[in-house]
Structure 1
Amino acid sequence: MQPFVHLHSHTEFSLLDGISRLPDMVRRAKELNQPALAITDHGNMYAAIYFYKECIAQGVKPIIGCEVYVTENSRFDRPEGRSRERLKHLILLAETMEGYRNLVKIVSKASTEGMLYRPRADRDLLRQYSKGIIALSACIQGEIPQYILQDNMEGAKRSIEWYIETYGKDNFFLEIQNHGLPEEAKAQEELIKLSKEYGLGIVASNDFHYVLKEDADAQDIKVCIST
């Protein structure tokens, strides 16, 4: 049986969202015989080095990544008014050392050049630093699932074609999740069809923010503080 590997995970460094402590999540992955583990905190890589060292110490392969916020416009734009832009999510994973350096540049520039409530990356930034990176279409807040939920399949296809052009067919995957949400079921059905149409791989992920079932209430309280 193929071992499961978490490729979409949030630590306590996903501020006011995740509560997974690094030693605990790595230890749990090892207990479940998962050979590798990714870190994809929201908009930052604060925990990357700590995570890497913890994985090496416990004998789990570390995969360094980030769940970035993508703006439809330029990251340099500052829209007038107080309404927040509906940013899209995107999972980026470093495949090589060049990819790690490029991921650092994307995340840094999203914060220093694109910050508006949240660090924002745009397509120019993603295209410029795409080498050595594997991209996943993310949760239902991702660009492609959002098009699907809006019944805009042409938009979803245009988006897929852009990501294939940017990362290559072998380095872009459609991501499916099942947390019991009806939106996920609708997105999943169409994502599977699109994967066949474009010959893309599918990644099944669990968008986890805490390590054990009994941690759920604590994470819920943290989200309440945030919202």
Structure 2
Amino acid sequence: MLNSSLKIEDTVRLAVSENVDALAITDTNVLYGFPKFYDTCIANNIKPIFGMTIYVTNGLNNIETVVLAKDNYGLKDLYQLSSEIKMNALEHVSFELLKRFSNNMIIIFKNVADEHRDIVRVFDSHE
């Protein structure tokens, strides 16, 4: 939410008013909002879902991608992936790097063009 005009408290308040039981946070490349998001969700009986938006590249094109932690192992993987991005000043993540951390995450590729479908299928078969 660092790049967003949304405030965590306002978003959670709206979720409560709409009887939402779970809510996700997906900041781009970072996880800075996680502690406040977690505390605010728990205080309002909402299940927090932790994620991150990244841009995955095959070297030529970039695909906006949302990665969500399935469990605490996935949360650890998110922290490791975010650290790799920050330590190496990456604007885009390679498919190979994403695969290293993908076992405990749900991966959502957004607006995948036909020419990228073969690359994305690698993740469909990756267990």
Instruction: Assess same fold via TM > 0.5.
Output: yes
Identity of aligned residues (%): 26
For residue 162 of structure 1, give the secondary structure of its aligned residue in structure 2. Answer: helix
Matched, 1:165 2:125: yes
Shift of 1:87: 3.0
User: What aligned pairs does 1:192-207 form with structure 2 within 5 A after superposition?
Assistant: none
Count how many residue pairs are aligned between Structure 1 and Structure 2.
127
Matched, 1:39 2:52: no
Matched, 1:28 2:14: yes
Structure 1 residues 26 and 93: alpha-carbon distance in aligned structure 2, compared to 1, 3 A threshold: same
Distance 1:23 1:94 in 2: 22
Distance 2:66 2:12 in 1: 20
Structure 1 residues 63 and 47: alpha-carbon distance in aligned structure 2, compared to 1, 3 A threshold: same
Tell me which amino acid in the other structure corresponds to 1:113.
Answer: N
For residue 12 of structure 2, give the secondary structure of its aligned residue in structure 1. Answer: helix
Distance 1:162 1:114 in 2: 26
TM-score, length-normalised on structure 2?
0.90
Shift of 1:114: 4.5
Tell me which amino acid in the other structure corresponds to 2:45.
Answer: G
Aligned to 1:98: 73
TM-score, length-normalised on structure 1?
0.52
Aligned to 1:79: none
Shift of 1:25: 0.2
Aligned to 2:98: 126
What are the superposed Cα offsets for residues 68-108 of structure 1, whole Å, 9 maximum, x if unpaired? Answer: 121223xxxxxxxxxxx753210000011111011111111
For residue 40 of structure 1, give the secondary structure of its aligned residue in structure 2. Answer: strand
Tell me which amino acid in the other structure corresponds to 2:21.
Answer: P
Shift of 1:161: 1.2
8 Å Cα contact 1:114-1:121 kept in structure 2:
no
8 Å Cα contact 2:63-2:109 kept in structure 1:
no
What are the superposed Cα offsets for residues 47-70 of structure 1, whole Å, 9 maximum, x if unpaired? Answer: 011101110011111000001121
Larger Rg belongs to? 1
**Which has the larger share of strand?**
2
What are the superposed Cα offsets for residues 171-208 of structure 1, whole Å, 9 maximum, x if unpaired? Answer: xxxxxxxxxxxxxxxxxxxxxxxxxxxxxxxxxxxxxx
User: What aligned pairs does 1:1-227 form with structure 2 within 5 A after superposition?
Assistant: 11=1, 13=2, 15=3, 18-73=4-59, 87-115=62-90, 118=91, 120-138=92-110, 140=111, 144=112, 147=113, 153=114, 155-166=115-126, 168=127
Tell me which amino acid in the other structure corresponds to 1:162.
Answer: V
Tell me which amino acid in the other structure corresponds to 1:19.
Answer: S
Please, which runs of 5 or more residues in structure 1 have no aligned partner?
1-10, 74-84, 148-152, 169-227
Structure 1 residues 114 and 70: alpha-carbon distance in aligned structure 2, compared to 1, 3 A threshold: farther
Distance 1:114 1:98 in 2: 24
Please, which runs of 5 or more residues in structure 2 have no aligned partner?
none
Distance 1:112 1:71 in 2: 18
